[in-house]
């Protein structure tokens, strides 16, 4: 048994059923022989992003796995690795590497050495007999501690060398869930129950921990409203009367008001990282902070009580202490409902607009009203699509919306959604993107077709880079720098998908219904929406 055969056996033991890849790696053939499906993307970055999407839909027991060749293949993976690292998503990356004798010789590229700043653990297999130990350490780090990319590099010469024994003594490492100190739990509950206007700030760690049920119980027991971060969106049902909604840099009026006015913020399953793509937290608040990553506590904000540990175990401990106090839940639902009604009334003219070309918010309104919310998975892309759709699309069940973007890579939505579809093939999967983002990953529409992962892509075809013209008016007016053209429905047809064109507002809902039917029949769909660039400036 050689090294790649041993890795294949370990991945089989770990329950891996498919990997994303491009363009070559000695593992691909061995995995296929073991009936582990390789899904070939059109570029390395897409393969990494699909692994990311797979991991976001799973828990911290199953992970997206990506393979690339050495050298330029590994170099092109940087964007996918960096995005997963910034968003704290565990993925396993298995790049080929140069022969050991050439590791230190330029221009040979080592992913382990180069990507240390964007991975939570990285190691090269320098001898075949190290394979079991290296892979065990890799899966331990995927399941425990700060979530993020784990890299195992396989040098070309080591990949084909024989192990000293054909027997692989490998047992999957367990997930070790940690609980906070009970005294700190008691102190946190004291602060929570004494607060005049507390808010719960729920992050993606709630989803990874499977903590949505216990979060709902705590919310209803205390009457504390919930705001979900971009990554945490769908951790709490936004139809619930105590939901404030979710946000990136843009959010709902109830969320904005509560975040600004609250005296205590209970952050659960979140790094509380300051980012231009998130809601700012004003100074002077009492903060209780739960996260698995001890180094995130007191990183960007002064924290009164740190609760390092698993989000579900932490919430269970907090709920038990709260119930022992016999507290009465606060009644703030009427205040939240009034703010939500005010906010939606203000935006209703855009959500129902009959403008031609279509207003972005009319497209979003039809998406919300047409989709089966509990049986769909939706994501945005970077830029204006993210900030437009995220506050308005009501996430319901866990993972019904995938929020992402601390570093916000254009084009992430298509491969991300292919990975999500591979993880949840029975769900209707839709990504919402601009024409600039389509240029970064549009060819992976063909990947969705070829891999039988039918998704729907909604492209806002407004003829330009809508987020950027404000900073370059001369370049745009004199040279057309941010303008672009394309018949994206025709491109989709050329890639084997079904292309639908929407030019009138009353065509949007019908196109979405047709897309759902076509996806159910196994066809990938792109909806080319002729939209305007004025939505952000048309608000009443």
Give pLDDT, residue 536: 45
- The answer to whether residue 418 is domain-embedded is yes
Range picked from 440-454, 459-473, 476-490 for highest mean pLDDT: 440-454
Same-domain pairing of 389 and 517: yes
Query: Do the beta carbons of residue 501 and residue 460 sit within 8 Å?
Result: no
Residues 151 and 227 grouped into a single domain = no
Q: Where are the beta strands (DSSP E) in 81-195?
A: 91-97, 121-124, 149-155
* Cβ–Cβ < 8 Å for 10, 94: no
Q: Domain boundary at 330, 362, 378, which?
A: 330
Helices (H) and strands (E) in the chain, counts: 22, 18
pLDDT of residue 106: 84
Average pLDDT for 252-269: 98
Name the residue with higher pLDDT: 460 or 467: 460
Shared domain check, 192 and 98: no
Residues 29 and 141 in one domain: yes
Asked whether residue 166 is domain-assigned, the answer is: no
Sign of CA dihedral 124, 126, 131, 132: negative
Q: What is the dihedral of CA 232, 422, 365, 484, to 10 degrees?
A: 100
- CATH for 108: 3.40.50.970
- Six-digit token pair at 435? 């024409």
Residue range 220-239: average pLDDT? 98
Q: Is 427 a domain residue?
A: yes
Q: Do 196 and 151 share a structural domain?
A: no
Helix (H) or strand (E) holding 257: helix 253-261
Q: In this predicted structure, which of 39-48, 128-137, 525-534 has the lowest mean pLDDT? A: 525-534
SS3 120: coil
Rg (CA), the chain: 24
Residues 266 and 382 in one domain: no
Q: Can you tell me whether residue 475 is helix, strand or coil? A: helix
- CATH number of the domain encompassing residue 297: 3.40.50.1220
Query: Quick one: which of 189, 188, 187 has its CA closest to 326?
Result: 189
- Structural domain includes residue 229: yes
Distance, in Å, from the CA atom of 20 to the CA atom of 436, rounded to the nearest integer, reads: 24
Which of 330, 362, 397 is the endpoint of a domain? 330
Q: Please report the beta strands in 452-524, taking only residues with DSSP state E, as ranges in sequence order.
A: 456-461, 498-502
Question: 538 pLDDT exceeds 70?
Answer: no
Indicate the pLDDT class of residue 534, thresholds 50, 70 and 90: low
CA dihedral 44, 46, 48, 50 (to 10 degrees): -150
What pLDDT does residue 469 have? Answer: 61
151 and 241, same domain (yes or no): no
Q: Tell me the per-residue pLDDT of 36-50, one tens digit each, with 9 for 90 and over.
A: 999 999 999 999 999
- From first CA to last CA, the distance across the chain in angstroms is 68
Average pLDDT value over all residues in the chain: 95
Are 318 and 455 in a shared domain? no
Q: Which residues contact 126 (CB under 8 A, 6 or more apart)?
A: 100, 155, 158
- Asked if the structure places residue 483 within a domain, the reply is yes
Residue 177 domain-assigned (yes or no): no
435 and 528: one domain? yes
pLDDT tens string 106-130 = 889 999 999 999 999 999 999 999 9
Domain end point (choices 330, 364, 389):
330
* Structure tokens belonging to residue 106: 């330029």
Same domain, 382 and 492: yes
Whole-number Cα distances in Å, 389 to 18, 159, 384, 386, 497? 31, 45, 9, 6, 24
By the 8 A CB rule, do 81 and 139 touch?
no
Clarify whether residues 391 and 360 are in a common domain: yes
Residue 517 domain flag: yes
> Stretch 29-33: mean pLDDT, rounded?
98
Q: Does one domain contain both 138 and 260? A: no
- Asked whether residue 206 carries a pLDDT value surpassing 90, the answer given is yes
Is 340 a domain residue? no
Q: Give me the sign of the Cα torsion angle 250, 254, 260, 265.
A: negative
Domain total of the chain: 3
Question: Nearest-CA neighbor of 433 among 538, 526, 535, 368?
Answer: 526
Q: Which domain holds residue 119?
A: 3-159
């Amino acid at each position: 048994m050689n090294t790649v055969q041993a890795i294949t056996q370990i991945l089989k033991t770990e329950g891996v059923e498919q990997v994303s890849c491009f363009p070559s790696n000695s593992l691909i053939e061995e995995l296929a022989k073991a009936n582990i499906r390789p899904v070939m993307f059109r570029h390395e970055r897409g393969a990494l992003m699909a692994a990311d999407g797979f991991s976001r839909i799973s828990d911290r027991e199953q992970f997206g796995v990506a393979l690339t060749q050495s050298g330029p293949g590994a170099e092109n993976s940087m964007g996918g690795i960096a995005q997963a690292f910034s968003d704290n998503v565990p993925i396993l990356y298995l790049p080929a590497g140069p022969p050991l004798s050439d590791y230190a010789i330029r221009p040979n590229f080592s992913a382990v050495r180069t990507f240390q700043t964007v991975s939570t653990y990285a190691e090269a297999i320098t001898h075949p007999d190290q394979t079991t130990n290296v892979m065990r350490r890799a899966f331990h780090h995927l399941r425990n501690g700060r979530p993020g990319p784990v890299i195992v590099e396989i040098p070309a010469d080591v990949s084909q060398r024989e192990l000293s024994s054909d027997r692989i003594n490998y047992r999957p490492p367990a997930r070790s869930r940690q609980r906070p100190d009970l005294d700190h739990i008691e102190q946190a509950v004291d602060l929570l129950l004494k607060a005049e206007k507390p808010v719960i700030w729920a992050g993606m760690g709630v989803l990874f921990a499977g903590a949505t049920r216990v979060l709902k119980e705590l919310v209803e027991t205390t009457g504390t409203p919930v705001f979900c971060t971009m990554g945490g969106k769908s951790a709490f049902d936004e139809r619930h009367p105590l939901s404030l909604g979710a946000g990136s840099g843009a959010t709902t009026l109830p969320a904005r008001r509560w975040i600004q006015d609250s005296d205590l913020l209970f952050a659960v399953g979140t790094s509380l990282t300051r980012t231009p793509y998130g809601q700012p937290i004003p100074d002077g608040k009492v903060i209780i902070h739960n996260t698995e990553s001890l180094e995130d506590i007191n990183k960007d904000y002064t924290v009164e009580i740190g609760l390092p540990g698993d989000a579900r175990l932490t919430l269970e401990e907090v709920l038990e202490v709260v119930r022992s106090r016999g507290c009465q839940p606060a009644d703030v639902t009427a205040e939240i409902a009034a703010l939500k009604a005010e906010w939606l009334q203000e935006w209703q003219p855009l959500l129902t607009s009959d403008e031609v070309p279509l207003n972005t918010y009319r497209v979003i309104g039809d998406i919300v009203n047409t989709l089966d919310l509990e049986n769909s998975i939706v994501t945005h892309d970077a830029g204006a699509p993210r900030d437009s759709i995220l506050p308005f699309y009501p996430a319901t069940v866990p993972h019904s919306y995938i929020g992402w973007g601390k570093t916000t890579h254009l084009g992430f939505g298509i491969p991300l959604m292919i990975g999500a579809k591979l993880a949840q093939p029975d769900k209707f999967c839709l990504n919402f993107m601009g024409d600039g983002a389509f240029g970064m990953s549009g060819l992976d529409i063909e990947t969705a077709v070829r891999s039988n992962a039918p998704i729907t892509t909604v492209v806002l075809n407004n003829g330009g880079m809508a987020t950027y013209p404000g900073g370059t008016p001369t370049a745009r007016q004199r040279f057309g720098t941010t303008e672009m053209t394309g018949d994206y429905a025709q491109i989709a047809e050329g890639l084997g998908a079904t292309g639908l064109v929407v030019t009138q507002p009353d065509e949007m809902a019908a196109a979405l219904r047709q897309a759902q039917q076509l996806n159910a029949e196994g066809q990938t769909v792109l909806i080319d929406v002729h939209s305007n660039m004025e939505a952000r400036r048309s608000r009443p």
